[in-house]
């Protein structure tokens, strides 16, 4: 049984007061979900406050991005080594917003995966298709290309040792739309099958999260699918009660398999 994982991606939200308050609320409730891993990814500006709020508790600390270079003269960037030193465990890489708005190509995403791996961080590799790509029947082609950028690397087996994949249909992020459980399961199964081409053992052990508008009302049904191992949560992660309810749905998954 793969350990369910629920990660909150706060994106560019929060204040100096609200960020630690939200983290504290999640920390208090997370203790009741034994067997489920939880993490929050605040903006860099609030990392210290959230770190203090979750320290020595069940909630892991994550970040939304890293630099694809080693420490050096890269103004405005944050290195993987700095984050590891700070106690960060998870790092999101290749989120659709980074790909679409900030020029994160597959090559740059691979470089970030390598930097995270070298620093001992767990990489959450985000993949997904746009609405037009889905309508054109190109979902599998697009996702295969994003995954193969890593699978075809000379160090792929090493990188996969400490990796989580998050499927985030771009058309279902922040739109209120969501893939049906069956649609999501089909893509998750495709991802696992793609991984099996390199290593069936890794494919079976790999946690694949769903990241397209997961809410308390649909989390249980999504997490009930055999290849969906948790969620990368956006908007619902900004309300402690919603995020906690989603963690509860992940806990229920343990009892159903």
- Enumerate the active-site residues: 95, 168
- Three-state helix/strand/coil letters over the chain: CCCCEEEEECCCCCCCCHHHHHHHHHHHHHCCCCCCEEEEECCHHHHHHHHHHHCCCCEEEEECCCCCCCCCCCCCCCCHHHHHHCCCCEEEECCHHHHHHHCCCHHHHHHHHHHHHHCCCEEEEEECCCHHHHHCCCHHHHHHHHHHHHHCCCCHHHHHCCEEEEECCHHHCCCCCCCCHHHHHHHHHHHHHHHHCCCHHHHHHCCEEECCCCCCCCHHHHHCCCCCCEEEECHHHHCHHHHHHHHHHHHHHHHHC
């Amino acid at each position: 049984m793969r350990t369910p994982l629920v990660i909150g991606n706060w994106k560019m939200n929060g204040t100096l007061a609200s960020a630690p308050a939200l983290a504290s609320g999640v920390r208090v409730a997370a203790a009741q979900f034994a067997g489920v891993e939880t993490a929050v990814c605040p903006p860099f500006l609030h990392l210290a406050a959230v770190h203090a709020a979750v320290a020595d508790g069940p909630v892991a600390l994550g970040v939304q991005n890293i630099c694809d270079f080693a420490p050096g003269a890269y103004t405005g960037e944050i290195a993987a080594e700095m984050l590891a030193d700070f106690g960060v465990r998870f790092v999101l890489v290749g989120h659709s917003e980074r790909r679409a708005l900030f020029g994160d190509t597959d090559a740059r995403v691979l470089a970030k995966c390598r930097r995270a791996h070298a620093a001992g961080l767990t990489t959450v590799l985000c993949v997904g298709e746009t609405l037009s790509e889905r309508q054109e029947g190109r979902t599998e082609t697009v996702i295969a290309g994003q995954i193969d950028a890593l699978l075809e690397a000379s160090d792929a087996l090493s990188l996969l040792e400490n990796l989580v994949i998050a499927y985030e249909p771009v058309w279902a992020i922040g739109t209120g739309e969501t893939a049906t459980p069956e649609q999501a399961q089909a893509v998750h199964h495709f991802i696992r099958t793609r991984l099996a081409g390199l290593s069936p053992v890794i494919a079976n052990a790999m946690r694949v999260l769903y990241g397209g508008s997961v809410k308390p009302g649909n989390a249980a049904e999504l997490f009930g699918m055999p290849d969906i191992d948790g969620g990368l949560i956006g908007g619902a992660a900004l309300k402690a009660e919603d995020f906690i309810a989603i963690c509860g749905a992940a806990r229920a998954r343990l009892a159903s398999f």
